[in-house]
């Protein structure tokens, strides 16, 4: 079967400059090309998703791994999840600090009896695995936090991507990264990783390591980005997947879910694939930073104006 791939680097307000858009497009296309060739060489959907998430976590532009946003107390706490569609198995870590790639911890937990670990337990796992201590802080994110602290954290979220020159934005953004893959065996997997909203209370739990934000089975896979509380309230990823499982086409499942999201005034986006190879993406946010590979061509959503689009 022809592999399919879709990835995202967050959703939110529009990027401030054309250069920022070009830089994001370049980053996303590089990951799409690398991961799609892995899929062509026989990698499983799960392997492709983990490697894709790792590349996006390593890019300081995106709010996951290196370049994660800071929470209200100035600390970075990251969350990540992996869902294998064939086994319908979810694993994840919540609010982990001082590791480079939270997605690897989520992957390790796929074969564990205890599959979702939070802060202290996740740190213990990292220690048991001899994961090197790593500081994901970047200068741009530190400046962003310092500015916000002066203004008593009046924004709801940090910028969707870390643009090189920090300028106080007029609107907030939402960052997360995600990958959904369909491999040559027809297997689906989804992965999502985030530094959270930015400036949040200690202990706040992101949607990214919940089935609301990251879900897959044999029929469909979805990764979400945007305001976690909105994603949780809609149970977005699981809802789209269940709708496809119950017989809706991916196009119908996305359209219905995003119509409800608009009615409920939500601010988020999602990327999705189904077992037939259909690719879909939807947003209520102004911008979704996503790119996909159809097998024939690469495309992106940076200039998308519609709420939902599906490619067959």
Q: CA-CA distance, 9 to 178, in Å (whole number)?
A: 7
Residue choice 161, 227, 253, 261 for contact with ligand GLY (CB under 6 A): 227
User: Looking at 66, 108, 176, 284, which residue is catalytic?
Assistant: 176
159 vs 207 by CB, closer to ligand GLY: 207
Where in 228-287 is the site for ligand GLY (CB under 6 A)?
228, 231
Residue choice 176, 193, 223, 301 for contact with ligand GLY (CB under 6 A): 176
Joined together, the tokens standing for residue 27 give: 């980053």
Does the protein bind ligand GLY through residue 208 (CB under 6 A)? yes
Report in angstroms the alpha-carbon separations of 103 from 47, 167, 173, 192.
11, 30, 22, 8
194 vs 284 by CB, closer to ligand GLY: 194
Does the protein bind ligand GLY through residue 207 (CB under 6 A)? yes
3-state secondary structure of 254: helix
Q: CA-CA distance, 115 to 117, in Å (whole number)?
A: 7
108 vs 208 by CB, closer to ligand GLY: 208
163 vs 207 by CB, closer to ligand GLY: 207
H/E element, 268: strand 268-274
Going 236 to 34 to 249 to 259, the CA torsion angle's sign is positive
Segment near ligand GLY (CB under 6 A); pick from 66-74, 92-100, 122-130, 191-199: 191-199
Does the protein bind ligand GLY through residue 81 (CB under 6 A)? no
Does the protein bind ligand GLY through residue 13 (CB under 6 A)? no
Report in angstroms how near the CB of residue 68 gets to ligand GLY at its nearest. Answer: 11
Segment near ligand GLY (CB under 6 A); pick from 34-42, 81-89, 163-171, 190-198: 190-198
3-state secondary structure of 48: helix
- Please give the backbone phi and psi of residue 82, each rounded to the nearest 5 degrees, phi first: -130, 135
Task: Tell me if 67 sits within 8 A of 140, measured CB to CB.
Answer: yes
Segment near ligand GLY (CB under 6 A); pick from 105-113, 127-135, 194-202, 294-302: 194-202
Report in angstroms how near the CB of residue 9 gets to ligand GLY at its nearest. Answer: 12
Please give the residue whose beta carbon sits closest to ligand GLY in the complex: 228
Q: CA-CA distance, 77 to 254, in Å (whole number)?
A: 30
Does the protein bind ligand GLY through residue 206 (CB under 6 A)? yes
Segment near ligand GLY (CB under 6 A); pick from 31-39, 148-156, 192-200, 245-253: 192-200
Task: Tell me if 106 sits within 8 A of 92, measured CB to CB.
Answer: yes
| Alpha helix ranges (H) inside the chain | 18-40, 45-58, 102-108, 119-128, 139-150, 228-234, 236-245, 250-263
Q: CA-CA distance, 272 to 68, in Å (whole number)?
A: 24
Closest CA to 229 of 263, 270, 196: 196
Is 176 annotated as catalytic? yes
3-state secondary structure of 92: strand
Residue choice 169, 196, 211, 299 for contact with ligand GLY (CB under 6 A): 196
Closest CA to 311 of 282, 284, 285: 282
Report in angstroms how near the CB of residue 206 gets to ligand GLY at its nearest. Answer: 3
List the x/- string, 84-123, binding to ligand GLY by CB under 6 A: ----------------------------------------
Residue choice 21, 71, 225, 284 for contact with ligand GLY (CB under 6 A): 225
**Which residue numbers are catalytic?**
176
Q: Write out the residues near ligand GLY by the rule CB under 6 A.
A: 176, 194, 196-197, 206-208, 225-228, 231
């Amino acid at each position: 079967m022809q592999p399919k791939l879709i990835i995202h680097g967050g959703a939110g307000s529009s990027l401030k400059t054309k250069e920022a858009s070009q830089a994001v497009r370049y980053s996303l296309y590089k990951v799409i090309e690398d991961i799609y060739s892995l899929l062509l060489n026989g990698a499983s959907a799960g392997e492709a998703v983990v490697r894709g998430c790792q590349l996006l976590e390593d890019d300081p532009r995106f709010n996951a791994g290196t370049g994660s946003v800071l929470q209200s107390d100035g600390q970075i706490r990251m969350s990540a999840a992996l869902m294998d569609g064939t086994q319908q198995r979810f694993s994840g870590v919540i609010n982990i600090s001082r590791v480079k790639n939270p997605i690897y911890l989520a992957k390790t937990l796929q074969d564990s009896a205890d599959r979702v670990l939070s802060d202290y337990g996740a740190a213990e796992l990292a220690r048991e695995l001899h994961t090197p201590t790593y500081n994901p802080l970047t200068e741009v994110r530190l400046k962003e936090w310092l500015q916000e602290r002066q203004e008593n954290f009046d924004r709801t979220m940090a910028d969707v991507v870390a643009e090189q020159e920090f300028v106080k934005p007029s609107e907030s953004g939402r960052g997360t990264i995600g990958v959904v893959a369909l491999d040559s065996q027809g297997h689906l997997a989804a992965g999502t990783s985030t530094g959270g909203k930015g400036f949040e209370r200690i202990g706040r739990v992101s949607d990214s390591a919940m089935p609301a934000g990251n879900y897959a089975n044999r029929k469909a896979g979805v990764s979400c980005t945007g305001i976690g509380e909105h994603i949780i309230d809609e149970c977005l990823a699981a809802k789209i997947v269940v709708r496809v499982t119950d017989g809706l086409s991916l196009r119908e499942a996305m359209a219905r879910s995003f119509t409800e999201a608009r009615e409920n005034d939500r601010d988020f986006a999602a990327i999705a694939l189904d077992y037939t190879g259909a690719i879909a993406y939807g947003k209520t946010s102004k911008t979704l930073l996503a790119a996909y590979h159809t097998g024939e061509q690469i495309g992106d959503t940076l200039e998308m104006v519609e709420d939902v689009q599906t490619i067959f």
